Structure 1
């Protein structure tokens, strides 16, 4: 098996580090043991489908061929860094910290991480897989997931903070679910970045995130300080692990590497559209988080948006320059970036950056290496901001 043997991760900082992007390997019974008898056979679960173990929804629709655990961290130690080997992994092969709260906390303690923000896998990073079934079932699936995440947060002793999934296909239901999840103590919502590519229950295309359609949700989040997170690959159109970016002549693992890298830039499209939509002149307190996208593209894109507005849309105007909205309303996450990352953090803005590991995905930092060295040119105050205080303020985490 192609793996890298890992030394025990060591605490890298006395700062109470908050990891702003990790994932849960959902236990196979997460939905079935919480579902009513009416839905138990229809909610997401692992079954044999066409001779292969799969995550299925509504009995026979695959939402995870192979029932892959979406973890590259092996149970016996080590990390898989070979695509073909990774794709053969099963739930039983991977580190129990991928799914078990007690074991996840042990991993965090060994790495010197105080808290983690948690995102899903099976229903899609933006909950897009749930849209494949009827409205009643999809709402039940989202509600069960959020109930499970509230339980997980409580079980962790307020160290794991999952972001709630939304029934984004129905904005009224999305508002209700956001209110319900906030009442359960969840600290943010996770949204589909391209709802306008999906038809609503009325047969019409759902409006994009820059329209009045979303004002009730934005008003709630604006008034209640609820951050809105969009993770890379958070829609059916943006998720592309294997196919469209790499040339056909390249082998699959290299095509996958290119597709994974290009996903980071896709979040820039969402940031750009949110800024140019003008909604931030109406909802000035909204906070958006670009998750697992890196930070190196931010300064160039902000300069480009300022330039383009002046050069080809001078009749349009906002209260501020486009780049200024990033400073006031957006956060971005860094993890693997090493070259001049301290300088880049300053260019993006130390108040706008969050640290992540992406545990336990293939791109994850496990172990966390040379973090202090990479941030050595930052002051202690700025280091504390990007590793802890920014996320603590945004997600209301006690440190």
Structure 2
């Protein structure tokens, strides 16, 4: 009797145009300076020496992050992947050009069988929270220039690479205007600081933010919460590890705990009242996996029944999630079918996190093959393609 071969990843995705919903741009050093007016060229984000080390700075020499000018890519120039922490010391010339160049990024996508990608920033933070202490005019110009660059990238890639728009989140009126401007430029969603209360502003549950939610609904712009999207949640290492752990173990623990930071954000969104006021609004939990979602929804429902009496809600936490929220997976493959179905087949999307640590590279679908095989073709098509296509209005 002939042995039946297991389907390969290529077999499982045949006929599906893959949309990768979380990748990153290693920003070229001239992204801002090449587009800034003359009076701001020496103030917008740029790489210069800071304490003798190449570093991203803003304004009058303010450091933007503690990792110098690292492109945060683990893909070496020769295309091989590093699995150590040496990437912290690399410069942009040390990494694969696909981290920062449209032409080479498209080549990587074609080799991996990926039709389109969503792109998130590095330098200004995953929620645009960095550079807070710079002059406001510089911050606004930096955000607008970044969004201009994302619109350029969309055109250069022939509608295959979609950058999410940063917002001047500290100013609701300006944020509304930037949502509208980004929409006109062809961008498909926004990024926001998940914890503006850290900066002396109202938290996102307060009605202060209603004009922004209204603008996102009116312009069909999903709001993306990438892990590490605030000052209090952005440290990869964090404080969750025990002091005796070696450096790489600290990184592994801290990076894992970052995912659960988005569970906190989603819990607050679900119970904030926003989803009752704006029933068609869309939120995305980015780079946080999906395994924790069924547990979160179940525990919220239980705790509401047991302990919370100050608010009433029109739907259950699970119903809100299925109507308004999406999760993204990449490394998870155990019990994938059960987890996807618990979350809702219409609420799950695929990502690779290219070219960051733990990204799926060079064969992103090979890692997921055993999990994908548990799903029907229709389910695979939704989570790998059509859910993202509908959410971000990406043509297939």
Q: Does 1:357 align with 2:352?
A: yes
Out of 330, 343, 347, which is 1:348 matched to? Answer: 343
**2:19–2:385 CA contact under 8 A, matched in 1:** yes
User: Helix, strand or coil for the counterpart of 1:219?
Assistant: helix
Q: Which runs of 5+ in 1 are unaligned?
A: 1-8, 199-204
1:30 CA drift (Å): 0.5
Residues in 2 aligned to 1:38 and 1:12: alpha-carbon distance in whole angstroms? 53
Match of 2:392 in 1: 395
Compare 302-311 and 214-223 and name the one that shifted more. 214-223
1:338 CA drift (Å): 1.5
User: Helix, strand or coil for the counterpart of 2:39?
Assistant: coil
Residues in 2 aligned to 1:66 and 1:130: alpha-carbon distance in whole angstroms? 14
Residues in 2 aligned to 1:60 and 1:80: alpha-carbon distance in whole angstroms? 31
Q: Give the 4+ runs in structure 1 shifted more than 3 A.
A: 9-12
What do the CA deviations read for 1:163-217 (whole angstroms, capped 9, x no partner)?
A: 000000101000000100000000000111001110xxxxxx2111111111001
Match of 1:373 in 2: 370
What do the CA deviations read for 1:259-296 (whole angstroms, capped 9, x no partner)?
A: 10000011011111111111111100000000000000
User: Helix, strand or coil for the counterpart of 1:129?
Assistant: coil
User: Helix, strand or coil for the counterpart of 1:38?
Assistant: helix
Q: Does 1:75 align with 2:70?
A: no
Give runs of aligned pairs for residues 90-239 of structure 1, distance below 5 A.
90-198=91-199, 205-239=200-234
Q: Does 1:325 align with 2:320?
A: yes
User: Helix, strand or coil for the counterpart of 1:79?
Assistant: coil
Match of 2:38 in 1: 37
TM-score (ref. length: structure 2): 0.95
Match of 2:239 in 1: 244
What do the CA deviations read for 1:11-44 (whole angstroms, capped 9, x no partner)?
A: 9622100000000000000000100011010011
1:223 CA drift (Å): 2.3
**2:126–2:227 CA contact under 8 A, matched in 1:** yes
What do the CA deviations read for 1:135-178 (whole angstroms, capped 9, x no partner)?
A: 11100000000001100011000000000000001010000001
1:373 CA drift (Å): 2.8
Match of 1:290 in 2: 285
Out of 256, 264, 268, which is 1:269 matched to? Answer: 264
What do the CA deviations read for 1:216-247 (whole angstroms, capped 9, x no partner)?
A: 01011122221000100001101121240111
Q: Does 1:50 align with 2:51?
A: yes
Residues in 2 aligned to 1:350 and 1:142: alpha-carbon distance in whole angstroms? 34
1:66 CA drift (Å): 2.4
Match of 1:13 in 2: 13
Residues in 2 aligned to 1:82 and 1:331: alpha-carbon distance in whole angstroms? 31
Match of 1:4 in 2: none
> Aligned-residue CA RMSD in angstroms?
1.3
**2:56–2:64 CA contact under 8 A, matched in 1:** yes
1:377 CA drift (Å): 1.8
Count of matched residue positions in the alignment of Structure 1 and Structure 2: 384
Q: 1:242 to 1:315 in 2, by over 3 A?
A: closer
Residues in 1 aligned to 2:37 and 2:10: alpha-carbon distance in whole angstroms? 44
Residues in 1 aligned to 2:102 and 2:60: alpha-carbon distance in whole angstroms? 28
1:49 CA drift (Å): 1.4
**2:330–2:368 CA contact under 8 A, matched in 1:** no
**1:11–1:110 CA contact under 8 A, matched in 2:** no
TM-score (ref. length: structure 1): 0.94
